[in-house]
Amino acid sequence: MLSNEPMELSEDRILCYACAEPISSKLNNLHYMKTKVEFDLLKDEILEKCNELYNDTVTKDIEKKIERIYGNTNIGYTEQQTAKKKFLETYMLTTGYEFSGYKITKYIGVISGQVVLGTGFLSEFTASFADFFGEESNKFADKLETAKNAAVEKLIIKSADKGGNAVIGVDFDYITFHGNMIGVVANGTSVVIEQLNNNNPNS
């Protein structure tokens, strides 16, 4: 984009190097924006410059080019992942049947999230007794913990899809399958909860 070649637009339209030069470096900088806010600020600056220099057709073509640049960045993915992580971390779960300071207003139903560990996991238990309670034991524990977290994530997503904002009675089942595979199942009851009003003794 920073070469002396013309800038390609839509439908075989192009901008010569001299015409594209005022915005080419800014377009290139879009690739390196870290957040959508930064991206949008630079985008607005570019389009404002385009409105000064070019006709509506060229400006719309450049706007489409900017949208393609955004699609090739990790900004949208990163922000989506951040939002998902925050949602999962703040979703309310308990192995009990109530939350202190909250009341259950609706029981949605029993739900579960399942994850299966790949072939070969159980065959590793043929390791020696000493290895099993040493380094190998830690590897097995890490695998089970990863599977457990993935099962919880599926449990939360299923609860949210059904309209719940919390899960009570969470427990875990571990199931072995033929072919050296193991399943981890997270179970619970999806519910809707509301925070109690401390100023109202009847709530």
Sequence-separated (6 or more) residues with CB below 8 Å from residue 118: 181
> Residue 168 pairs with which residues in a beta bridge?
189
pLDDT score for 170: 97
What CATH number labels 93-195?
Answer: 3.30.110.70
Residue 128 has pLDDT above 50, yes or no: no
Q: What pLDDT was estimated at residue 103? A: 95
Angle formed at CA 151 by CA 171 and CA 160, multiple of 5 degrees: 90
Q: What predicted TM-score, i.e. pTM, was given to this entire model?
A: 0.59
pLDDT the model gives residue 135: 56
Q: What is the pLDDT of residues 8-22, one digit of tens each?
A: 887 778 888 888 888
Q: In angstroms, rounded to a whole number, what is the distance separating the alpha carbons of residues 40 and 36?
A: 6
3-state secondary structure of 202: coil
| CA distance linking residue 69 with residue 7, whole number of Å | 14
Q: Mean pLDDT, to the nearest integer, of 151-168? A: 94
pLDDT at residue 37, rounded to an integer: 79
pLDDT band at 173 (very low <50, low <70, confident <90, very high): very high
Q: What residues does each domain of the chain span?
A: 7-78, 93-195
Torsion 56-62-63-68 (CA) sign: positive
Which tokens is 190 given?
A: 């999806």
Mean pLDDT throughout 91-110?
A: 96
pLDDT at 136 (0 to 100): 55
